[in-house]
């Protein structure tokens, strides 16, 4: 319907047309209105908790009604409401022939929160001047902004329990944080410890993820009842269409999703494509690991201020949320990268040279050496020596063998038995005795003599020589996959 037809219907007293016109004049200021008309009294409810929005709403509605000159409207009452729908101020004035506006009364209402009975806001009159402000309308002290359930949802999306604490459910939030932290700890220990079962770690993913989802819904329920069946209805609710915290929550799930929700399809697509590209590049270049968390933070921050209703919110919460997003995303990315770089690394066995201890396809964990020399009998992962690459260029860059000779040991192999410093070495881990001989030799300083457990089918030190100490990456200590092979290595 054209604006001219709307104005024509409004002048005839059509309440729906009046409501649309008032709503249109308030939308640029990030506000919405509900309108009622009864016996010449036009009641307009506006969510305007701050003095600035109060002034804007009153002046916008006043100017619109003066322009329209609606005969059926003799008096106007504007009710300013907080986020919990409690009335915090009211403004009432009369229209004489739709041209002159005068103040007929100002009401005081108590806020429905924990404030004292004296914490009320008096409405500024439209015609009264304040001598101390040079004729400017008197401003009331700012109202306290109410807590937003979708801000609680955003906090719980960062880590379970934070939203409940924000909502005032301290012990419930603390209990959720404790349960989630314990489950994550048990899962991590089960995966990395030598005796831990990887299946236990994988099985805990389901309760961890389940608690995470329920916790997000519960964070909203701390303010209003919300069931699984009503979740879609809440997302489609008109009051949430312009809620910046809904856009931030969707941006937390996937950068660009919040902008699609706000119908900014171009920027939403750009953010999604940027995240995909940055994630793929980060796999090849670790320096790009910081880019995906930054994209999440930028998407959330921009989605918040792109939403028209963000003007009625304080800037501090979104700064806090963005800071927490950066902190949690960086932690989730950098800690695993740091652990794999400095402590534990995963490897896949490419051949059967270590049968029966290791088989082709086994996935193992190795504890980084970090200056600790390997001990006799350790399974060590190391970079292939240069002479090994010369003999067989297709052998690969990483080997895993068992340490047999330590630096300066005198070593020889005769009749399938290895002698270290003239003492026979007991080996119950080999597939069979070696069918080759080694003359007595001294292992060089800072070098090691390594052999595969499958002695007669292993490309090892008896072929290409010794392993320099600086080539050793770490000690293999656990098979974590496949399930039937999970267990510690010896």
Instruction: Name the residues annotated as catalytic.
Output: 353, 401
Alpha-carbon span 385 to 459, nearest angstrom: 12
Going by the DSSP 8-state scheme, the letter that residue 97 receives in this structure is T
Q: In what order do the strands lie in the sheet with 423-424?
A: 423-424, 417-420, 410-414, 438-442
Neighbours of 164 (CB within 10 A): 25
Instruction: Give which of 335, 126, 436 is closest to 451, Cα–Cα.
Output: 436
Residue 467 dihedral angles phi and psi, to the nearest 5°: -105, 115
Q: Are 435 and 416 spatial neighbours (Cβ–Cβ below 8 Å)?
A: yes
Residue 267: asked if its preceding bond is cis (omega within 30°), the reply is no
373-379: Cβ within 8 A, 24+ apart: 373/469, 374/403, 374/448, 374/472, 374/475, 375/403, 376/403, 376/404, 376/406, 376/420, 377/402, 377/403, 378/402, 378/403, 378/475, 379/354, 379/403, 379/475, 379/476, 379/477, 379/489
Q: Are 479 and 362 spatial neighbours (Cβ–Cβ below 8 Å)?
A: yes
- Residue 346 tokens, joined: 């995963």
Residue 482: asked if its preceding bond is cis (omega within 30°), the reply is yes
Range 321-359 burial, b when 16+ CB lie within 10 A, else e: bbebbbebbbeebeeeeeeeeeebbebebebbbbbebbe
Q: Are 108 and 74 spatial neighbours (Cβ–Cβ below 8 Å)?
A: no
Alpha-carbon span 157 to 38, nearest angstrom: 45
Instruction: Give the N- to C-terminal CA distance of the chain in Å, as an integer.
Output: 80
Residue 395 dihedral angles phi and psi, to the nearest 5°: -75, -20
- Residue 269 tokens, joined: 């697509």
Alpha-carbon span 187 to 211, nearest angstrom: 14
Alpha-carbon span 482 to 484, nearest angstrom: 6
- Residue 365 tokens, joined: 């964990």
Q: Are 420 and 409 spatial neighbours (Cβ–Cβ below 8 Å)?
A: yes
């Amino acid at each position: 319907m054209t604006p001219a037809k709307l104005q024509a219907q409004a002048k005839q007293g059509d309440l729906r047309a009046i409501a649309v016109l008032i709503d249109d004049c308030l939308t640029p200021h990030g506000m919405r209105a509900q309108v009622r008309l009864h016996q010449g009294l036009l009641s307009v409810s506006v969510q305007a908790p701050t003095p600035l929005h109060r002034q804007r709403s009153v002046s916008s509605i006043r100017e619109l009604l003066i322009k329209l000159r609606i005969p059926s409207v003799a008096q106007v009452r504007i009710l300013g409401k907080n986020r919990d729908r409690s009335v915090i101020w009211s403004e009432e004035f009369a229209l004489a022939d739709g041209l002159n506006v005068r103040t007929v009364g100002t009401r005081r209402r108590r806020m429905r929160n924990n404030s004292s009975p004296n914490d009320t806001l008096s409405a500024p009159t439209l015609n009264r001047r304040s001598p101390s402000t040079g004729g400017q309308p008197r401003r009331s002290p700012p109202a306290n902004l109410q807590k937003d359930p979708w801000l609680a949802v955003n906090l719980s999306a960062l880590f379970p329990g934070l939203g409940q604490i924000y909502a005032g459910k301290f012990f419930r939030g603390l209990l959720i944080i404790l349960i989630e932290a314990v489950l994550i700890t048990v899962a991590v220990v089960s995966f990395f410890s030598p005796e831990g079962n990887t299946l236990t770690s994988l099985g805990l993913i389901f309760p961890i993820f389940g608690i995470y989802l329920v916790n997000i819904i519960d964070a909203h329920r701390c303010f209003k009842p919300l069931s699984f069946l009503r979740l879609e209805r809440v997302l489609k609710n008109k009051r949430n269409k312009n809620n910046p915290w809904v856009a931030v929550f969707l941006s937390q799930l996937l950068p660009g999703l919040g902008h699609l929700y706000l119908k900014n399809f171009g920027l939403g697509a750009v953010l999604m494509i940027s995240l995909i590209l940055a994630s793929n590049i980060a796999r090849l270049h670790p320096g790009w690991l910081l880019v995906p968390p930054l994209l999440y933070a930028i998407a959330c921050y921009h989605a918040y201020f792109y939403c028209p209703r963000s003007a009625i919110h304080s800037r501090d919460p979104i700064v806090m949320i963005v800071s927490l997003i950066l902190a949690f995303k960086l932690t989730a990315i950098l800690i695993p990268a740091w652990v794999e770089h400095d402590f534990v690394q995963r490897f896949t066995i490419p051949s059967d040279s270590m049968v029966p201890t290791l088989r082709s396809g086994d996935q193992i964990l190795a504890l980084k050496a970090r200056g600790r020399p390997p001990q006799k009998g350790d399974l060590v992962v190391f970079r292939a020596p240069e002479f090994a690459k010369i003999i067989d260029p297709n052998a690969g860059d990483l080997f895993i063998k068992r340490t047999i000779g330590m630096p300066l040991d005198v070593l020889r192999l005769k009749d399938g038995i290895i002698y270290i410093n003239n003492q026979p070495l007991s080996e119950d881990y080999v597939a069979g005795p070696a069918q080759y001989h080694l003359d007595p030799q001294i292992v060089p300083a800072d070098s090691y003599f390594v052999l595969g457990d499958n002695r007669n089918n292993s490309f090892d030190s008896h072929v290409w020589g010794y392993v320099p100490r600086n080539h050793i990456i770490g000690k293999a200590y656990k098979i974590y996959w496949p399930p039937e092979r999970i267990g510690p290595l010896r």
